[in-house]
Chain A
Amino acid sequence: MTSSTLTGPAAPAAPVRHRPVGRALQGWLYATPTAAFVGVLFVLPLLLVMLMSASRWPLLSGYQGWNLPANYSRAVSNRFFVDSVVFTVKYTVLATVLLIALGLGLALLVQESTRWKGLLRTAFLVPSALGLASASLLFYVLYSPFAGPFAPIMERMGATFLGTPDAALWSTLFLIVWRYAGFYMLLMLVGLQAVPADVYEAARIDGAGRWQTFRHITLPLLRPTLALCTVLCVTGSLLAFEQFYILTKGGPDNSTISVVQLIYTVAFQGQNDLGVAAALSVLVLGVLVLVNVLQIRAFSRPEER
């Protein structure tokens, strides 16, 4: 269902019935505001980013002439480039596995309709009403060795939430899980509801156990939902920025520099080189398009057969 719509082109075009040319014209008319927004506020700036990536473009003095491959080679040879790619991939894998497993677990926990489970659902969902920046600020205080509720414990144990590379990574992951677990739980709930009830009925009559039912019926039928969740989670995690910008600033010892954090640093905190930052952004865009195409293919092929 949803994943095939996500790809757009897969959806069959509406059969044209009345005055085809007129319909096409009307279609464009309705799509004009979208096209205007996307064209002027997205495509145009994106082209400018591509232009930046091909030019010498210091943040503070603007366009200084072409230098095509240089920005890309400088982007790739930045001393944090490899580290940031490795870290971002690691973070993405961890975040995706955690969020999808937890989302599914929570969904199974609350899928029946009782008052208590309704309350649980709301509790899991409330954090997702916060903006990511607000949530990061909230955890900034919560993790603080001065004002946080765990300050005395931290002091006794001589450890802090953001002090070591591993602690910083897991503390950030906890924030992300807290903020997004409810979101993925809902996606899973919706997917679970789309599974026809008589399939379960049949499995029960056949004497399938709870685990067998889950493994052989629920999971395969959840495939489209899992695909959507994975695409969303991977895209979001590969672009992770705010949580690191507010909580860790890439530290300690440069251990939590995500790729977008690196872009921000190159642009605004030191090098102030928009050309290199734009080159990195174009690389990220290319990778994301590729990853998404691959993911959608991997998940949708069996369905089409």
Chain B
Amino acid sequence: MALTGFRSLLAAAAVAAMLAVAACGGGGGASGGGDATAAGPNGVDDGTTLTLWTRAPLEKQAKLLVEAYNATHQNTVELTVTPNDDYVAKVGAAAGAGGLPDLFAADIVYVPNWVQQGLFQDISDSIDGLPFKDAINAGHLAAGTYEGRAHVLPFVLDLSMLFWNKDLFREAGLDPEKPPATLEEYAAAAKAIQALGKPDTYGTATGLNCGGCLVFTWFPSIWAAGEQVMTPDGTQSLLASPTARQVYDTWRDLWQSGAVLPSSRDEAGPTWTAGFTEGKVGLMFYPATLLSSTQGFEVGVAGIPGPNGGSSTFVGGDGIGISKDSEKAPQAWNFLSWLMSEEAQVEVLGKNLDVVSRSDLADNKYAVSDPRLVTINEVAAAGETPVAINFQQAFNATNSPWLTLVRDAVLGTGADLDKNNDEITAVLSQQ
């Protein structure tokens, strides 16, 4: 009767679904077409069209790089930009169906996971052929290395640095040329600027509802003290240590004293740097890629201090590699090897006041003209890039246990610190 037709339709659909799965399933292998080094150390430049994906916050740098490459090569790179929050969804959909672009960039903290899942091709041999291999940022290389094989090169480096507004320092009677050397001094400076009582002006700012921002700006304080945030294998959280407590307590005190931009409490990331950029915040831990967007006031740059001195930075930004689905690996490698060249690093990134990915180019002619860039490039070498398979879920996700920990420790009672730290470990150690 009425149902039989429907049932046969269902059966037909089920068969078709199985076929679809059989055709696309098990796409985990990391073997795309062609060996990247087959055609020499610089790959192949033969007029091929390559596709490249990145996320919106890096669009400026990506666009400059792609334009410069296209102008000097026969290959053409086509750039696709995706809103930051939706990038993982887009890459995930494509990865499952074998539709990844030739090249794609990924937030460096996601890279270990994506490499392990086989999204990138092994480019160890090609990287080994680069004469300046040892000068390439080690943190990024390490994040993309799985079972001894390298899959990812640094695309754009982004470092967290202590930025201070020299104009506001002067007004508050602080030495505008001397950055705070400890977290304590940092807090004192923030309170001094707050004490000016200027309307709409605050001592410091952060993103207390933004796991990624907090990782980026608070981990370095712990590293500066010579300690770690996780065990080396990235499966256990060490964020309830006495040093970590000192960091939370400093921020708790700052928050309670009213020296923190009030909207920091709810800041989920989209506008976390806006206050400083507009000149309304005295000092803050801030992304170095935004150096060129601070205009209208004088800015100083230093490494992020620990509770009792020292300095460090989070070497963030994006790594880039050749996707498992690319059948144009030699051509894609041509772009990557050019990306690492002095021409791209200095004449494109350096010229745009961005951090270069090679330590041997740290004091290039553009950096030398701005001492702040030299500082950034120097601190970059001492910075760290944490590696954990479940990093995104443990720290960056909007419902991450790290966010729960910080909000409790800074805005709440702090009584659950150990419990929350265990929760981070539970997520990190998931298989």
**A–B contact, 8 Å CB criterion (strictly below):** yes
Q: Which residues of A are interface residues toward B (Cβ below 8 A)?
A: 35, 39, 43-44, 47-48, 51, 58-64, 80, 144-146, 155, 158, 160, 162-163, 249-254, 257, 264-265, 267-272, 274
Q: Which residue of B lies closest to A83 (CB)?
A: B399
A62 touches which of B27, B91, B397 (Cβ 8 Å): B27
Quick one: which of B12, B396, B397, B399 has the most chain A CB within 10 A?
A: B399
| A146 and B21 within 8 A (CB) | no
CB neighbors of A among B11-61 (8 A):
12-14, 16-18, 20-21, 24-28
Q: Which residue of A lies closest to B408 (CB)?
A: A253
CB neighbors of A among B82-101 (8 A):
86, 88-89, 91-92, 95-96
| A160 and B263 within 8 A (CB) | yes
| A268 and B209 within 8 A (CB) | no
Q: Which residues of B are interface residues toward A (Cβ below 8 A)?
A: 9-10, 12-14, 16-18, 20-21, 24-28, 86, 88-89, 91-92, 95-96, 113-114, 117-119, 209, 262-263, 265-266, 268, 271, 274, 390, 392-393, 396-400, 404, 407
| B265 and A249 within 8 A (CB) | no
| A35 and B9 within 8 A (CB) | yes
User: How far apart are the CA atoms of A252 and B398 in the complex, in Å?
Assistant: 9
User: How far apart are the CA atoms of A146 and B264 in the complex, in Å?
Assistant: 12
Given the contacts A254-B404, A265-B399, A63 and B25 also touching, CB distance less than 8 Å: yes
User: How far apart are the CA atoms of A249 and B266 in the complex, in Å?
Assistant: 11
| B9 and A268 within 8 A (CB) | no
Chain B binding surface SS class:
helix
Chain A residues contacting B24 (CB-CB under 8 Å) are: 62-63
Chain A residues contacting B118 (CB-CB under 8 Å) are: 60-61
User: How far apart are the CA atoms of A158 and B88 in the complex, in Å?
Assistant: 35
Chain B residues contacting A272 (CB-CB under 8 Å) are: 88, 92, 113, 392
Q: Which residue of A lies closest to B118 (CB)?
A: A61
Given the contacts A146-B271, A250-B399, A254-B404, A62 and B17 also touching, CB distance less than 8 Å: no
| A267 and B92 within 8 A (CB) | yes
CB of B390 to closest CB in A, whole Å = 8
User: How far apart are the CA atoms of A254 and B209 in the complex, in Å?
Assistant: 10
Given contacts A61-B95, A62-B95, A80-B399, 6 further A-B contacts (CB under 8 A): A47-B10, A63-B26, A155-B262, A253-B407, A270-B399, A270-B400
CB of B23 to closest CB in A, whole Å = 11
User: How far apart are the CA atoms of A204 and B21 in the complex, in Å?
Assistant: 67
Going nearest first, the 10 A-B pairs with the smallest beta carbon separation are A270-B393, A63-B25, A59-B92, A270-B397, A61-B28, A268-B89, A60-B117, A145-B263, A249-B398, A163-B266
List 7 A–B pairs whose Cβ atoms lie within 8 Å, in order of A's numbering.
A35-B9, A44-B20, A63-B26, A162-B266, A249-B268, A254-B404, A265-B397
CB of A57 to closest CB in B, whole Å = 8
Given the contacts A59-B96, A250-B399, A268 and B13 also touching, CB distance less than 8 Å: no
| A60 and B96 within 8 A (CB) | yes
A60 touches which of B92, B396, B399 (Cβ 8 Å): B92
User: How far apart are the CA atoms of A226 and B393 in the complex, in Å?
Assistant: 43
A48 touches which of B21, B28, B398 (Cβ 8 Å): B21
CB of B391 to closest CB in A, whole Å = 10
